[in-house]
Amino acid sequence: MTRRLMGALGACSALGLLASVAVAQEAKTIQVATHYTEEQAAPLLECFRAYEAEHPGVTVEHQQTAYGDFLQTILTSRVGGTAPDIYNVYSVWVPQLAAAGTLEAPPQEMADFITQNYSPATVGAATIGGQLWGVPTELSVYALVYNRKLLEAAGTTEPPKTWAELREIAQKITRTNDQGNIDVGGYAYGTSVAEGVHPLYSQMFAAGVAPFAEDGRSTNLTSPQAVKILGDQAALFADGITSNAITTDNFASGAVGMQISANWNKFGWQEAFGDQFADTVGVAPIPHDEGPGGRCSIRSSGRWIRPRTPRTRPGTSCATSARRARTGSPARGG
């Protein structure tokens, strides 16, 4: 079995749990909304067809929305009563969606399945204030990614374990042209919000300090560890080891020595490096200066989740929706 198929089946099984709930609650057409492109969603569509084959009379529809528009679409569709039965949402949106009463908590059977079959950290990524929201799907794990060939050219085959080592290696890798611009950066950061924030969070975890208090009501950004980490990052810019002109996007062209990145970048790097991928791209725990006990990565999780909203569409009983509106009972994607 290929891993592609395995992954699809894994996602199918989790999605099937939610779909079964929707079917049990009278829907014959199950609408599933994701931000995946058609190409990305192709294996998922195979899951839908397989589910339909196993459940005659049930149709599963895929609603694709661009990532940048997805959160607004969720909120708008709820107001308009056109919400789908199941969303695949980014975890960071869930606190607001849950607080707004937009989401339906999973039934006990599903909650039991998740707690029994997912690691505590994964379950934690889908939990807010002790309440589980949805089925975890994707994991994003952060680690140090390095260009093996550039490290070897700098005289080392071992990735750095501390920030001091990282800085020393990065300095050896960095090459500047006659105009003073960096052609090859020893280290790089990205231009997006996440590409600046997630490495800082990851380094804080590695240093043994969570970015936020456990109750989510305060930060640890002014901790000595966080200040040192950001100061060390800034020093890479001040000392010409990195710049805004050499970014994580340049890793694929072999112009970056090291960066903190998530696992989901693999596909692009495989395309870029081809049969040299394994000989070029290395992964190591995030360097830190807090001894061997430091935690070394963070992760977030997407999840399948059901909206709590009445809706009316072909195949749905208008009378049922009206009854729900009158009684105030939770809508069940009917």
Residues 121-140 that bind other proteins (CB under 8 A): 121-122, 124-125, 127-128, 136-140
The reply to whether 101 sits near other proteins by the rule CB under 8 A is: no
φ/ψ of 83, rounded to 5, equals: -65, 145
In this structure, what DSSP letter does residue 64 have?
E
User: Binding residue for other proteins (CB under 8 A) from 24, 79, 164, 197?
Assistant: 197
Residue with smaller CB distance to other proteins, 302 or 310: 302
CB 70 within 8 A of CB 83: no
Minimum distance, C-beta of residue 89 to other proteins, in the bound complex (Å): 12
Minimum distance, C-beta of residue 317 to other proteins, in the bound complex (Å): 33
CB count, 10 Å around CB of 298? 22
φ/ψ of 94, rounded to 5, equals: -65, -40
User: Which residues inside 288-317 make contact with other proteins, applying CB under 8 A?
Assistant: 295-301
The reply to whether 107 sits near other proteins by the rule CB under 8 A is: no
The reply to whether 151 sits near other proteins by the rule CB under 8 A is: no
The reply to whether 212 sits near other proteins by the rule CB under 8 A is: yes
Minimum distance, C-beta of residue 312 to other proteins, in the bound complex (Å): 30
Give ∠ CA 150-151-153 in degrees, rounded to 5: 65
* Contacts by residues 88-91 (CB-CB < 8 Å, ≥ 24 positions apart): 88/32, 88/33, 88/34, 88/35, 88/36, 88/137, 88/302, 88/303, 88/304, 88/305, 89/134, 89/302, 89/303, 89/305, 90/35, 90/300, 90/302, 91/125, 91/126, 91/300, 91/301, 91/302, 91/303
Query: Kind and range of the H or E element at 254?
Result: none
Locate tokens 């960096």: which residue?
182
User: Which residues inside 56-95 make contact with other proteins, applying CB under 8 A?
Assistant: 71, 91-95
Minimum distance, C-beta of residue 319 to other proteins, in the bound complex (Å): 34
φ/ψ of 261, rounded to 5, equals: -145, 165
Minimum distance, C-beta of residue 4 to other proteins, in the bound complex (Å): 5
Residue with smaller CB distance to other proteins, 27 or 44: 44
216: phi > 0 → left, psi -120 to 50 → alpha, else beta; which? left
User: Which residues inside 214-273 make contact with other proteins, applying CB under 8 A?
Assistant: 214, 216-219, 221-222, 226-228, 230-231, 233-234, 237-238, 244, 263-268
Locate tokens 């794990």: which residue?
141
Nearest CA-CA partner of 49 in 39, 57, 59: 59
User: Binding residue for other proteins (CB under 8 A) from 17, 105, 111, 284?
Assistant: 284
Residue with smaller CB distance to other proteins, 124 or 254: 124
Which one of 18-26, 37-45, 77-85, 324-332 is the stretch in contact with other proteins (CB under 8 A)?
Answer: 37-45
Residue with smaller CB distance to other proteins, 219 or 329: 219
Residue with smaller CB distance to other proteins, 99 or 325: 99
